[in-house]
Structure formats: C-alpha cells, structure tokens
Amino acid sequence: MDIDRNGSVTSPRGFQAAATACGLKASGQLDLALVVSQGESQAAGVFTRNQVAAAPVLISKRTLQGHAHHIRAVVINAGVANACTGAAGLEAARSTQQAAARLLGCAAEQVLVLSTGIIGLPLDMAKMRAGLQRAVPALSSTAGPHAARAIMTTDTRPKHAALQAQLPGGTVTLGGMAKGSGMIHPDMATMLAVLTTDAALPHEHLQAILGDAVERSFNRISVDGDTSTNDAVLLLASGASGVAVDTVQAQEAFSAALERLCLHLARELVRDGEGASKFISITVCGARAEAEAVRIGRTIATSPLVKTAIAGGDPNWGRILAAAGRAGVPLDPARLALWVGIGENADLQLVAAGEPLPYDPAQAGARFAAAEIAIRLELGLGSAQASVWTCDMTHDYITINAEYHT
C-alpha cells in the first residue's frame, strides 16, 4: 500500500481526464480540467462550511442530493472562483453542467462543477464552452496529472497520487488530485480535491467514509487560517474493478487506503503552501478529548507569531505555549511539556511541568532552522491526541497575497 506519486485520478479503472487552457487565467496556462467516469459512478462530496459559499459549491451539493448514484463527470475551472457572483454565478454553474452534459451525452444532473480563483469575478461562459469543446475529444486514461496541473492557482506544482488497496475480494485502486495553496484552513471540507476509485460501493457508504477521511487529513492542515468559499472534496467510485466493498473488513481496508491518500495530498498542499519554506508537524497529546487536541493544534498552526518565528529559525518557543493558552480549551499550565525536533521526531524537551528547562541554544536553533520541524505539546490531562500540519509564514506569503488579484 505505497503511495504512487505518478498516479492520479485516472489510475483507477473507468476514469478519463483532460485539461485545456480556455483563457480564464491571464497567463494562458491550463485552467480547465475534466474528469469523466466512463460508466455511472457513485459519488460523495464534502464542502466548505463558509456561509458565503461559491455558486459551484451550492450547485454541486444540490446535484449530489438527488443524483449521487449516477455521476458521470466533474468540471473544474481555475482562475475565477465564481463566488460572490449572485444569481449570474448560479446560472453560470448550471450552464457549465449543461454544456458538459451535451458534449458527453448525459444529463446535466450527472455533472459536478468546481471553481477556484479570484472571488467576485463573473465566469466567462463563452470561454468555458469553447474549453469544454476542446477538452472532451482529448479525454484519455493517462491525462490525470495534466488535469491536476489545470486546477492550480498559486500552487507551484501539481499534486496527484494513487495507491492500491488489497481487499478481501481483490485489489482496488484509489487516485486523486488536489490544489491549494492559499485560503487554506479547511473546515469540514477543504480546498479542491477530486478522488476516484474503481472499487464498488454505494453513495451512502462512500459519503460516510469520505467524511471520516477528510476530517483526519484535509481538515487538519492550515496555511493561513482562511477557510475558502470554494472548498470541496469529491470522491467518485466507478466499480470498474468488480471488487465490492461490502464487508466490515473490506470497508476498513478501503477507509485506511482513502485516509492514507487524503493525508498524502493534504500534506503535499502544506508543503506547497503560499510562500512556505518549512513543513511543520504539530502533535498535541495528553488531551482529554481528540477535539480539544485538534483545537489547540490548529491554534498553534495558525498563530502568525509561531509561523514567523519558525520562518526566521528563531527558537522562540514561548509563542507556542502562548498560542495553546488562548485556544479556548481548559488546560493546566503547570502540566505542560514541550518538545521540538527535526522531521517527525520531537526529541529536544524545552518545558517540563510548566517550567522551562535549560537547553543548548545551538541545539534548539538547529531544530527551529530545519526544513521539517516537529512540535509536540503534552497537556497532561488525558490520553487523547491529534496531529495537525502547517507551514511557516514568510515574506513570500506577503508578496503572493499583496499582489494576487492585480
């Protein structure tokens, strides 16, 4: 069950993809991706909790409510978010469904739509229609990585992967692609990700399994604390492997594989976070409940002071404890313990029972200066724990976001 970094949404049987540049990105780069299920797929989706949800999020949620059992395609455009676009935005999302359906010979309700890019701009339907007309004849079962490139915005590289899972009834494949890399602070859903599998299982199970996997992967990362208007994760199951996920054992194996894939893609998003120069793993343990560990972890992960200290390689560990203290979770400062380290190994203890320990500044400095940093905070209150992942906040984050729109 190894991650195949060359894999993609077209790795599972029964899926094709295509990508084209339809002119939504001023740069002329790829900006329209199409993922097509050759037969009818079962589908599941998890969407942003941001109340200012984009038109494609509203339309895809509604589409899944009645038609999750026979989805044929996902259309994703980058460059324009189609959010805060009012009635015209909803109409554009519906027109996208219709245009793709006509070309694919299916019903509009069998097409899901996602958008990412600048908020408030109208989606140019002439460009979208022309792009879809070029994309459909180009559909192929090897174009998954190409599609992953087309959904990028400020991402510096495409994120796609696949893996195989051995189920009692045989081997199934799972594939996926995701894009970041700003406005990343998923809440119940996430940035954009499209996942595919050739396993056979009904929408209802798919939805439950996807919700759990997203909760422990995409919902545990943060780049900048801003939950997007367009966050969405879609999962399509073609059943083309002929392997049914119909026993508890099969479901557990499938769930584990899906979580592994989601976690891989989520961590790739953090590594490519806007302006990121460092990857930070934060583990909060000794909590009374997992949700409390997550809340403290996310507060540390979104603290500008923690993120800038790490950008500067500055062992200013007090900021980590200060962030924990304002997370809104009851804690006992006298029980706190803190370790830092390189990679995933938080080996240098800085705080024990709330008291600072003497430490070698060179040793601490080396850890805060590493490209991959592990932080472990022990609360001493229980046995629950959780990990979250984030990146540092650098000058490049400011540059990217002060100049993104214009």
Q: Which residues are catalytic?
A: 190
Minimum separation from the CB atom of position 324 to a second copy (A)? 6
Which residue of 38, 141, 349, 401 would you call a contact of a second copy, by CB under 8 A?
Answer: 401
Separation CA 345–CA 306 (nearest Å): 19
Find the part of the chain contacting a second copy (CB under 8 A) among 48-56, 130-138, 195-203, 380-388: 48-56
Q: How far apart are CA 176 and CA 162, in angstroms?
A: 6
Cβ-based neighbours of 361, under 8 Å, separated by 6 or more: 315
Interface with a second copy (CB under 8 A), residue from 336, 340, 374, 386: 336
Does the footprint of a second copy cover residue 238 (CB under 8 A)? no
Contact flag: residue 363 with a second copy (CB under 8 A): no
With binding defined as CB under 8 A, does residue 119 bind a second copy? yes
Rule CB under 8 A: say whether 380 interacts with a second copy.
no
Residue closest to 97 by CA, chosen among 84, 83, 87, 107: 107
Q: Please name which of 115, 50, 129, 57 lies closest in space to residue 82, comparing C-alpha atoms.
A: 115
Q: Is 291 in the site for a second copy (CB under 8 A)?
A: no
Q: CA dist 18 to 105, 139, 359, Å?
A: 17, 5, 55
Question: Contacting a second copy (CB under 8 A), which of 5, 39, 52, 256?
Answer: 52
Residue 47 makes CB contacts below 8 A (sequence gap 6+) with 53, 57, 60, 61, 188, 189, 231, 232
**Residue length, the chain?**
406
Closer to a second copy by Cβ: residue 248 or 334: 334
Sign of the alpha-carbon torsion through 182, 186, 192, 193:
positive
Among 316, 342, 380, 384, binds a second copy (CB under 8 A): 316
Using the minimum distance from each CB to a second copy, give the nearer residue, 11 or 228: 228
Burial 149-160 (b: 16+ CB within 10 A, else e): bbbbbbbeebbb
Stretch that binds a second copy, among 63-71, 82-90, 91-99, 247-255 (CB under 8 A): 82-90
d(CA 297, CA 176): 26
Decide if residue 399 touches a second copy (CB under 8 A): yes
Nearer to a second copy, 18 or 285 (CB): 285
Least distance from a second copy to the Cβ atom of residue 385, Å: 19
CA distance 138 to 140: 6
* Binding residues among 158-187 for a second copy as defined by CB under 8 A: 182-183, 187
Q: List the one residue from 203, 319, 367, 376 that touches a second copy (CB under 8 A).
A: 319
Kindly indicate which of the ranges 86-94, 201-209, 257-265, 382-390 contains the residues binding a second copy, using the contact rule CB under 8 A. 86-94
